[in-house]
Amino acid sequence: MNRKKRLKDWAGNIRELENFVERLVTLTTKKQKIIDRKTLPPELQKELKKSKKDSPNIPTTKSLSESLTDYEEELIRTTLKNCNWNQSKAARALNISEHDMRYKMKKLRIEKPKA
């Protein structure tokens, strides 16, 4: 089975995702600085094991900062597309200010495609 089909689909279900993350935070101890696999519900632990077996080893050719920049750009572009390129809506969806949205768009050279 395809990894994407097995993993829980959070698209359009932000409240459920928020509740899930809150649950994970609640289950962690104060000493824990990260949420590890043991904190996850058993059904998700099984899914992670399955997906790890299916995932190819990805060679690291980029630095962490380059990878994060790529991810940030992809996330902003996708959110803008989903919001019909309305920067205010996209900023709210990403929980950032409109000023930050414009700054990031300029920094990452993201422009609305010409129709």
Residue entry with tokens 């790890």: 52
- Domain total in the chain: 2
Are residues 7 and 48 located together in one domain of the fold?
yes
The predicted pLDDT at position 25 comes to 73
The predicted pLDDT at position 102 comes to 95
Residue 115 belongs to a domain: no
Are residues 50 and 71 located together in one domain of the fold?
no
CB 27 within 8 A of CB 39: yes
Residue 113 belongs to a domain: no
pTM of the model: 0.49
Residue 114 belongs to a domain: no
Q: What b/e sequence results for 98-108 when a residue is b if at least 16 CB atoms lie within 10 Å of its CB, and e otherwise?
A: eeebeebbeee
What is the tens place of the pLDDT at every residue in 50-107?
666 655 555 667 788 888 888 999 999 999 999 999 999 999 999 999 999 999 999 9
Q: What b/e sequence results for 14-32 when a residue is b if at least 16 CB atoms lie within 10 Å of its CB, and e otherwise?
A: eeeeeebeeeeeeeeeeee
What is the tens place of the pLDDT at every residue in 8-64?
565 567 777 777 777 777 777 777 767 777 777 777 777 777 666 655 555 667 788
3-class DSSP state for residue 105? Answer: helix
Residue 85 belongs to a domain: yes
* Parent domain of 92: 64-107
Are residues 50 and 69 located together in one domain of the fold?
no
The enclosing domain of 91 has a CATH number of 1.10.10
